[in-house]
Amino acid sequence: MEGLLFYWISWSIWIYLTFILRKNHPLRWRMSAMMLMLIILTSVHFSIGHFELFGSGLFILFIVYMSVSNEKKGLTFYFLVSSLIISIAYSTFHLFEIFDPVWLFFDRGWMLGLIMGGLTLSLQKSFKWRFLTLLAGGMQGEILTAFLLERYSIIDPIGALDFLDVSAIASVFIILWSAFEHVSAIY
C-alpha cells in the first residue's frame, strides 16, 4: 500500500518532535509544524498541463530551497551539484525500472531508498545537508522523470505517495547511519 511507510515514519517523527524532544530546543516547533504540514498536503494534488503535482512534493521543494537560499555561495553550489547527482540517479533508476525491470530483485522502494540514502551519505557530511540534498535531489528527480516520460505519453505524478515512501526509507537510513557515526565518535 502506497504511503504506509511514509505515514508511519512521519507520524513517528512528529510525535518525537512534539512530545519527546526537549521543550527548549530551537527547532522543535518549526520542525513539528513542517512535518504536520507535509502530512496534511499529501492529499492535495492538482494538474498543470499534462503533469499531476502533489502538494507535499512542492512543499518539500519550497522548504529545501528556502533553507539553502540563506547559505554561502560555495555551500549552495556544492548542494546544487550534489542534488543534481541524486536527481539523475533517481531518474535513471525509474527509467531502468520501466525499460528493463528484470534487474529489480526486491522491492523497488527499498532499493531506491537505500541507493539514494547511500549516495547522499557519500556526498554530504553534515546531518542537515544530507536531508536537504536527499529531498531536493529526490523531488528534482521526480520532475525530471515526469518530463522524460511525458515525451512517451506516460503520465507520472510528481511527489506522490510512492516518492514519499522512498524518501522516508532513505531518511530513516540517513538517521540510523548518522546515529551510528555519532555513537562511534563517542566511543
> For residue 158, which phi and psi values (nearest 5 degrees)?
-100, 120
Ramachandran angles phi, psi of 52, nearest 5°: -105, 120
Query: How confident is the model at residue 21, as a pLDDT?
Result: 87
- pLDDT attached to residue 120: 96
Confidence at residue 81, expressed as pLDDT on a 0 to 100 scale = 96
The end-to-end CA distance of the chain, in Å, is 40
Mean pLDDT, contiguous 10-residue spans, the chain (187 residues): 90 92 88 94 90 93 93 91 96 89 82 94 93 96 94 88 95 94 89
Q: List all residues 6 or more positions away from 90 whose beta carbon is below 8 Å from its beta carbon.
A: 112, 116, 137, 138, 140, 141, 142, 144, 145
**Which sign does the torsion angle of CA 144, 149, 153, 155 carry?**
negative
Angle (CA) 171-172-175 rounded to 5° is: 85
The whole-angstrom separation of Cα 135 and Cα 178 is: 16
Give tens-digit pLDDT for 10-20.
999 999 999 99
Q: Which amino acid makes up residue 177? A: W
Q: How confident is the model over 134-163, as pLDDT tens digits?
A: 999 999 999 999 999 988 888 889 999 999
Q: CB neighbours of 159 closer than 8 A, spacing ≥ 6?
A: 53, 54, 55, 56, 57, 58, 60, 139, 142
pLDDT of residue 155: 86
Give the C-alpha separation, 5 to 161, whole Å: 9
- Whether the model clears a pTM of 0.85, i.e. scores above it, the answer is yes
Question: So what's the pLDDT on residue 181?
Answer: 92
**What per-residue confidence (pLDDT) applies to 83?**
96
